[in-house]
Copies of this chain bind each other. A is one copy, B any other.
Amino acid sequence: MSNNKNNPTIPEDHPRAQSLHYRHVLVDGMEKKIVTPSGLCAHGRGEAYDYILGETTTDAAENAMEAAVAMILSAKHPVISVNGNVAALIPKEIVDFSNETGSLLEINLFYQAPGRLNAIEQILRDNGADKILGLNEKVSVKLNNLSSNRRIVDPDGIFSADVVLIPLEDGDRAEALIESGKKVIAIDLNPLSRTAQKSHITIVDNLIRCIPKMVNIARSMKKMKAEKIKGIKNNFNQKKNLDQSLIHMIQYLQSKI
Contact = CB atoms under 8 A, between A and B. Distances in A.
A207 to B, nearest CB: 15
A11 interface: yes
A5 B112 CA distance: 9
> How many copies of this chain sit in the oligomeric assembly?
2
Interface in A95-134: 111, 113
A253 interface: yes
Interface in A38-61: 38, 40-49, 51-52
Interface stretch (A135-143, A210-218, A242-250): A242-250
A5 B40 contact: no
A220 interface: no
Contacts of A38: 6, 23, 27
A243 B254 CA distance: 9
A195 B164 CA distance: 40
Interface residues of A, number: 42
Contact of A48 (B190, B194, B247): B190
Nearest to A111: B6
Given A43-B44, A48-B49, A113-B5, A256 B192 contact: yes
B250 A253 contact: yes
**Among A26, A149, A250, A254, which residue has the most Cβ atoms of chain B within 10 A?**
A250
A253 B249 contact: yes
Contacts of A11: 147
Contacts of A247: 257
A36 interface: yes
Contacts of A192: 51, 253, 256
**Among A37, A192, A249, which residue has the most Cβ atoms of chain B within 10 A?**
A37
A105 B243 CA distance: 45
B256 A246 contact: yes
24 contacts: A5-B113, A6-B36, A6-B37, A6-B38, A6-B111, A8-B111, A8-B148, A26-B41, A27-B37, A27-B38, A37-B40, A40-B41, A41-B43, A41-B44, A41-B47, A44-B44, A44-B47, A45-B47, A45-B48, A48-B48, A192-B256, A250-B250, A250-B253, A253-B253
